[in-house]
Structure 1
């Protein structure tokens, strides 16, 4: 069932939220509405049976607070309260007074219909988070079971993407079922650490240096073959940030895997050498089109967009302009590229800060910070080799998407956000077994 959920998201919900056509919106809304209603009831029941550990309780509450905060942005408030909570929002409503259209009650969101769509999406992500957590809890003897759907879908997408690159002419690139190459690369870079870790765990089941059984060799071959195909898909996507994020995630995995095995100076020396080898390898293996795209950074207008987004953040500092309201609210602060519709900031951190405000952004940041701490702790301390490698993969995957999000809007793509929620659910259970 969970594999069907993720597969549906990748196949039907791989376009950015603001750029989907009518059919895509219908798929998204029908799917997530049903999933959100059923999932929230399920999440409440799971919360009642949750462990008494303070950290786990905090994660549960934060996971539920994220969609609840989106619902709060939809709550109609009296105009006098809006003047206190969001003066910029009240100013927009005051502009309607000469037309006798100013309402007495209005939500914090400048685009309530879009905020409703995002509320349903966040509800769906919460469902995936809780469902994966409980699947991992019920498969203690098979820790890799919740990861297999991710790897299966990633290999399918990677194979499709590589065939697109080699069969599409000089200007072709890998994108799978995705509309945009960077979002395809984001899914691949989040899946890549799991393929590598699966192969490494298979080799290390009886300890490194011991005789390798046929089953272990077969498992390692599957994992490393999948990793090679996924990495080839990232290269063929021609995504600059995809390569950078993948490299950063692999370096982090190596650093965590080596921690405690050598002295600190030796560990850092090995990590630096591996980083240099990785950079050289990427330069040698990357298609020429990727190198040319790195040289074309100056033609993009993202720095101006980011600068203007800071003014938007300053106008809606506490509660934001509402999830999905970036495009509507940004027009007032736009100072360049007036012929283009700026529906995204090309930086998830800036856009979510603008839409959620400081209050909502702190909820999301607190959730991801706890997830990151759980992942690193499990990767360093877990006694079971399988779960330790699984934790290292989660750490690498989280690092990849967090790096990539500095220059793109991957977390506004439901398929990629669903995978992030999946990884977070895995992390919670591994921490409980540490």
Structure 2
């Protein structure tokens, strides 16, 4: 019997020029997004490796990477039509802040200087050999130090604003958060092993890769609540236990670093997180937080509580020493109230005001917020704090309207870590450590953008 053979059908899919153009655009966007992420991941990993990037070489690498990030984003803005620039509503305040600091560098006639900062004029008269009444002098007593602070700080704000504009998908947020969490875990484990198992040649004040245990603690105070937020986000019990354990290790490393201010700050962060979760009505989250706190206590007790107890017994002496610095800096603020003594100039003038007996040289006030007021003046400091308060207000306002578990848990974790860092900076100079300052502004940019972003839970987003 004859059977007819059917010819195979060939389906030809044609695409329009516009579709091909859109496909190419998506491919290029993906490549650019990968490049931006790669730079940010590099900065997270590299910044704390060499004593928190305090030395010129690693600091230059961070500055170069941040400028490369800014340049790449600028090129994308030019090449991609219709690109929108995202910036917080309080950006105006930070513009005013930097405008006043630029004003500090402008040479002014002595007539104006006498009106707006008579103490600055008095310093020039007393200590400048070639001072003349007809001369022009800046508000900052040492211009080089102010320019150096600009060069160190501007890249951090570049990273903040560029991150707001380039990180969009949930997968990108997820990868960046995980990079911070796992790298913080690695630094914590390295610090504990180095201090307690390989103590030979260990510097007494250092911990992990940081030259000072307090700066290590400040870094981990931001990372630990973030790890806890990620743990609360997980639905699978194994992952929840894993990230809860990671958060507990990071918290325990803060105590084991023997940083008293760090220990108080991590306690402050976890208490704040407990109340925020309570406000959100997350009973499960609060139970996990309490369990993590118990685990931290067990880890600390297992490692030995003796050194920690010894450090806290000396707390009164440490607070008295810091109080002496704060007390002697008050006349400095009183003499330079409006425009300060010059950004980055505290170390060059504090010896004139120091009354307590000490052979130490004080480059920092050990209170970042007060030092900012002393160096930049009340006006610039007001604009800076207004910018920060504006950012946190927006984040809290957005958090009230969100139901996405990823957004709520990561933003709450980020907020608690950052506020813990702000609390810690009342007792130290963490914002003068490039790695710590970078992580602060980077996490702030991530949670600010995350609080606004409504994710599409599709395969391409992960």
**CA offsets per residue over residues 389-420 of structure 1, 9 Å max, x none?**
01101111112101111111111111111011
Residue number in structure 2 paired with 1:306: 326
Question: Aligned runs of 1:91-102 on 2, under 5 Å?
Answer: 91-96=122-127, 99-102=129-132
Greater shift, 169-178 or 218-227, is seen at: 169-178
CA offsets 1:139-185 (integer angstroms, 9 cap, x no match):
14554233122123212211211111222449867711110000001
SS in 2 for 1:109: coil
In structure 2, how many angstroms separate the alpha carbons of the residues matched to 1:106 and 1:29?
A: 30
Q: CA deviation at 1:238?
A: 0.7
Structure 2: how far apart are the matches of 1:339 and 1:73?
Answer: 31
Gaps of 5+ in 1: 204-215
Q: Does 1:80 align with 2:118?
A: no
Distance 1:296 1:238, change over 3 A: same
Instruction: Tell me if 1:12 matches 2:50.
Output: yes
Which sits farther off after the overlay, 26-35 or 330-339? 26-35
Q: Which residue of 1 aligns with 2:11?
A: none
CA contact (8 A) 1:192 1:227 kept: yes
Alpha carbons 1:71, 1:116 under 8 Å: kept: no
Q: Is the 8 A contact 1:173 1:238 kept in 2?
A: no
User: Which structure 2 residues correspond to residues 274-313 of structure 1 after superposition, within 5 A?
Assistant: 287-300=305-318, 301-313=321-333
User: Larger deviation: 278-287 or 251-260?
Assistant: 278-287
Q: In the alignment, which of 206, 212, 219 is matched to residue 180 of structure 1?
A: 212
Instruction: Report the Cα distance in structure 2 between the residues aligned to 1:405 and 1:394, rounded to whole angstroms.
Output: 17
Aligned ranges 1:260-271 → 2 under 5 Å = 260-261=280-281
TM-score, length of structure 2 as denominator length: 0.78
Distance 1:427 1:43 in 2: 23
Number of aligned residue pairs: give it: 405
The CA deviation at 1:349 is 1.4
Aligned equivalent of 2:459: none
Mapping of residues 82-121 of structure 1, within 5 Å: 82-96=113-127, 99-102=129-132, 104-121=135-152
Which residue in the other structure is 1:206 paired with?
A: none
Distance 1:5 1:65, change over 3 A: farther
Partner residue, 2:396 = 376
Select 1:50's aligned residue among 60, 77, 85: 85
Aligned residue number for residue 228 of structure 2 = 196
Does 75-84 or 352-361 show the bigger shift? 75-84
Deviation readout 1:269-303 (Å, 9 max, x if unpaired): 99xx9999799879857732121111112333111
> What RMSD, in angstroms, separates the aligned Cα atoms of the two structures?
3.4
Change beyond 3 A, Cα 1:275–1:69 = farther
Equivalence map 1:16-415=2 (5 Å): 24-29=55-60, 31-32=62-63, 35-36=66-67, 39=70, 49-50=84-85, 56-96=87-127, 99-102=129-132, 104-136=135-167, 138-140=168-170, 143-169=173-199, 175-203=207-235, 216-261=236-281, 287-300=305-318, 301-415=321-435
**Per-residue deviation, 1:322:** 1.4
Structure-2 residue corresponding to 1:207: none
- Unaligned residue ranges in structure 2 (runs of 5+): 1-38, 455-462
Residues of 2 paired with 1:39 and 1:75: CA distance?
27
Assess if the C-alpha contact under 8 Å between 1:378 and 1:391 holds in 2. Answer: no
Tell me the TM-score normalized by structure 1.
Answer: 0.83
Q: Secondary structure at the match of 2:52?
A: coil
Structure-2 separation of matches of 1:278 and 1:363: 41
Aligned partners of 1:164 and 1:173 also within 8 Å = no
Report the Cα offset of residue 74 of structure 1.
2.0
